Amino acid sequence: MSLEHGERPIEEGVRTDLREALDYGTYLDLDRLLSAQHPVSRPEHPDELLFIVQHQTTELWFKLVLHELRGVRAHLDADDVARARKSLARVKHIFRTLTEQWSVLATLTPSEYVEFRDFLGPSSGFQSHQYRAVEFVLGNKNAGMLQVFDGHPEARAVLQELLESPTVYDALLAFLARHGHDVPAEVLDRDVRRAWVERPELVPVLATLYEDTATHWEGYAICEDLVDLEDAFQFWRFRHLRTVQRTIGFKTGTGGSSGVGFLQRALELTFFPELYAVRTGIRAPDQSHHRAPHRPDDTPRYHP
């Protein structure tokens, strides 16, 4: 069939009458999603829509990250390492996408942002309960943060539940203990409401995995997945810092934080400190041992 006037005919078989069927827009609730952007600047600044969409998109990705990390925890509890690693691989790719996304917001120049920034009032990314939830499930817990959400009971309840629940790292250590590794009892029985702090007594336990990967491949591989995840998270934090610095310099954040200084200190936080500490003392393997094969397809790695 030839094209007339540049029009491309609809293929035969494509369904066009969707009045009584589930269509794309209804399935994705696009009417509500696409009407959820409400600029507050007056007169409305043309770049405020970019600012809103950037942050709403981030929150959607955080929703999926939290879903996947809860899944990682459950899969480890069920000794299903393959599914746990699949979810971790997905989370790493999400953070790669989120990191690249900062380049879009970076097109907002300082002179453009300052024209509508004051209209934002005290609203700030500091108040993202989903970001806090992701940090909680990874181990950076802070009960004091709950008061920020006293006016949002549902958000506060999510954080309360995660505050009182084991982290992904707790689930990994319990998995290792069930599979014969000498994880100290005081680590397994720790108060999960507290932020994770480095436990030097864990380093020798992890060293057994890293020095004999052939015997302990599953445990070793998922430890490396967590390192990849932390790297991905830190790259995202760093791009956040640089984007804020190029847009507002060293101004105080809208929510009252020190802005760039606050974000700089966040880069010093680590979720899995022992997984970095173990690298310092790793010894060369006994050459009589069978070494683990190179399995690039089995250990998805994050590459910025």
Annotated binding residues: 51-55, 113, 117, 240, 254
The number of C-alpha atoms within 13 Å of 162 and in the hemisphere containing its C-beta is 30
CA angle in degrees (0–180, nearest 5) for 37-41-44: 80
Detail the residues annotated as belonging to a binding site for substrate. 51-55, 113, 117, 254
Question: What tokens does 210 get?
Answer: 């890293």
| Cβ neighbours for 257, distance < 8 A, ≥ 6 positions apart | 124, 126
Alpha helices in the chain (DSSP H): 24-27, 30-33, 48-77, 81-105, 110-113, 129-138, 153-163, 168-178, 185-188, 203-211, 217-248, 260-266, 273-277
The answer to whether 287 touches 297, Cβ cutoff 8 Å, is no
Detail the residues annotated as belonging to a binding site for heme. 240
| CA–CA gap between residue 174 and residue 177 (Å, rounded) | 5
Alpha carbon dihedral 121, 122, 125, 128, in 10-degree steps, equals -120
